[in-house]
Amino acid sequence: MFIFPPKRMWARVLAVLAVAHSCAPSVLAQTSNPHAGGLPRLSGAYTSSPQHPRVFVAPGDVNNLVSRINSEATFSARAFLRLSGQIKVDLVAKNDWSRSYSGCRLNTYLYTFSYEHPEVAHGGHLLDQLRSDTNVAPEKDPPIAAAIVAARLALYATLVKRGAAPPAGAPPVGQAIALAKRILLAWANHGFRGAKGEFLSSPTQFCDDQGRFVRLDQSNVGLQIGRGVIYSVHAQDLLQSIGAIDTNEVRDLNAMHAALFQLIRSASNFRFHLPELSRPQQTCELYSNHVGAALAGLLSIARLLDDGRKFDAVLYGSDGATVFDIPWTAYFDHAIYGEADRPIQCYVNSGPDSLTSHPSYQTPIVAPGEIEDRYRNANRLQGIGYPMGTLEHLYNAAEIMKKAGFDPYGYRGRHRQSIELATQYYACFAKHVGFRKIVTPENGRNCPDFQQYVGQSVNDVDTAILMGAYRFPENVAITELDAAAKAEKTKASNASALEALDPVRFGRWRD
């Protein structure tokens, strides 16, 4: 027989339940499905658009950017000059852009399709492997970051076609369009195929560099394909907006992107239920930058295809036929810490502080606005660099949502977390420590929970500041750093130069 406890004990029980109800997403994640009720919905509703571009930019955005480019001495004018110079480099590069990759090696897709880094082109074993995988002749280079290059070319062509005044000696628009098309159609017609010529549809079809089919490596498929597909989507969207691809080419590109939607969805669900990542000490892995990249990729494809049902399913979990085990609203609720939150359970610290605990570290507290990916601590570029990767994916997804009729920048999670709050939190380190400087107890003490980041570089925060100042112009804590972030973006290092010319975020700054 059940005996009711005395009133004093009921009070204690209710107090415990109240704490559990208001606790951090970490506790909820261990006891329930992460998207089971209680998650706020975004303001707005999906708005169909028959015209291109419609994914990351609308026609009005392009016209506005063209106007800023044509205004002398603006940051946009200087950025367009750099973009024109990079297009010259792209057009004369010895990469064989008519090639693509089909096979199981995930890293080959990463480097040939999704990821641009100067060191990849410096020779060595990796370049030889990529050349072999893509059947490129010895005197040529394999395609590198094909989706990004295509988007950059398409962006340049679109801006000039819409009235941006090209600088003296600028490359011909026709050449940029032709190369962008060659890259996209090579992948649409020959890339991402299995042994029988079918589009890859499952993460279990991917292998590591030694040809081994390992589940932990397969859990990276959503990240590595998702981070690249936003650029192939952007390139197609821009080329369609200027009438540069015909009906048959659109059909082929749509077929590729529709197949990649199913692949990334399958990969995201696969990762979320992977036993190796479901152990309590690895719960933090479930809400990292991996999911942010996959969701941004999925949203971009749904918007390109103007599929409102799929778009809503990515946001909220299902359209009745297509299920997402970790939709965007559930991910957002875990990816950014909010008010009265506690850290998501993660790897046990191997040392007493961030300087000694590797490859991961977590303080026992969190400050509102911190990003869940903060625990990465193998080297000084990770503790802030990975959170900035997550924030980049959140901004990319937000730009897509905004064009589709939603209000992502006004959105608040269950714990009042927001993109603005996250940007403002890391802006503190940019202000008191400095871009790409190292956090110390002395220079970081003005920032909440600075102990989490001692020894870490304030890496890539300049990108978040540019976007934040553009989208949150009333937030002085962000906008006061805008000029310094622009100065950081114009420095001469190769990595910084490529970041400044990112075609998806190009123009998302204040002039």
199: helix, strand or coil = strand
Tell me if 492 is assigned to some domain: yes
Could you tell me how far CA 450 lies from the centroid of its own chain? 25
- The answer for residues whose C-beta is within 8 angstroms of residue 306's C-beta and 6 or more apart is 48, 49, 50, 54
Residue where a domain terminates, one of 270, 290, 310: 290
Q: Give tens-digit pLDDT for 307-330.
A: 999 999 999 998 777 889 999 999
Residues 101, 171 share a domain: yes
| Residues 351 and 278 occupy one common structural domain | no
pLDDT digits (tens, 9 = 90+) for 135-155: 999 889 999 999 999 999 999
368 in a domain, yes or no? yes
The reply to whether 434 falls in a domain is: yes
- Among 290, 323, 351, which residue terminates a domain? 290
In the predicted model, what is the mean pLDDT of residues 91-111? 96
Residues 148 and 227 in one domain: yes
| Residue (of 353, 397, 359) closest to 378 by Cα position | 359
Instruction: Determine the residue type at 377.
Output: N
**Residue 349 resides in a domain:** yes
Over residues 359-380, the mean pLDDT reads 97
Average pLDDT for 156-161: 98
In a domain, 316, yes or no: no
Model confidence at 121, in pLDDT bands (50, 70, 90)? low
pLDDT computed for residue 17 by the predictor: 31
Q: Is 344 contained in some domain?
A: yes
Same domain, 343 and 419: yes
Separation of alpha carbons 172 and 155, rounded Å = 13
Residue 231 one-letter amino acid: Y
Please indicate, yes or no, whether residues 278 and 386 belong to a single structural domain of this protein. Answer: no
The pair of three-digit structure tokens given for residue 375, joined into one six-digit string: 């625990």
Same domain? For 480 and 378 the reply is: yes
Is there a single domain that holds both residue 364 and residue 470? Answer: yes
Q: What's the mean pLDDT in 270-280?
A: 86
Q: Please indicate, yes or no, whether residues 129 and 260 belong to a single structural domain of this protein.
A: yes
Of 195, 206, 187, 192, the C-alpha closest to 99 is 187
Structural domain containing residue 453: 338-506
Kind and range of the H or E run holding 161:
helix 146-161
CA-to-CA distance for 34 and 32, rounded, in angstroms? 6
Q: How far apart are CA 152 and CA 89, in angstroms?
A: 12
Say if residue 420 is in the same domain as residue 353: yes
Give the pLDDT score at 123: 67
- Alpha carbon distance 114, 110 (integer Å): 5
> Considering only CA atoms, which of 247, 212, 255, 244 is closest in space to residue 106?
212
Residue 297 belongs to some domain of the structure:
no
Structural domain count, the chain: 2
pLDDT recorded at residue 445: 97
Q: Which amino acid is at 95?
A: N
324 belongs to a structural domain:
no
> Whole-angstrom Cα distance, residue 310 to residue 411?
20
Same domain, 355 and 415: yes
At residue 29 the predicted structure's pLDDT band, cuts being 50, 70 and 90, is very low
Name the pTM for this structure.
Answer: 0.91
Confidence at residue 491, expressed as pLDDT on a 0 to 100 scale? 80
Whether residue 195 is found in the same domain as residue 258: yes
Last residue of a domain, one of 262, 290, 318: 290
pLDDT band at 226; cut points 50, 70, 90: very high
- The pLDDT > 70 percentage for the chain reads 91
Q: In this structure, is the dihedral angle defined by the CA atoms of residues 97, 150, 223 and 46, taken in order, positive or negative?
A: negative
Q: Do residues 238 and 158 touch, judged by C-beta distance below 8 A?
A: yes
- For 285, what's the count of Cα atoms within 13 Å in the CB-facing half-sphere? 18
Tokens of 43: 């303001």
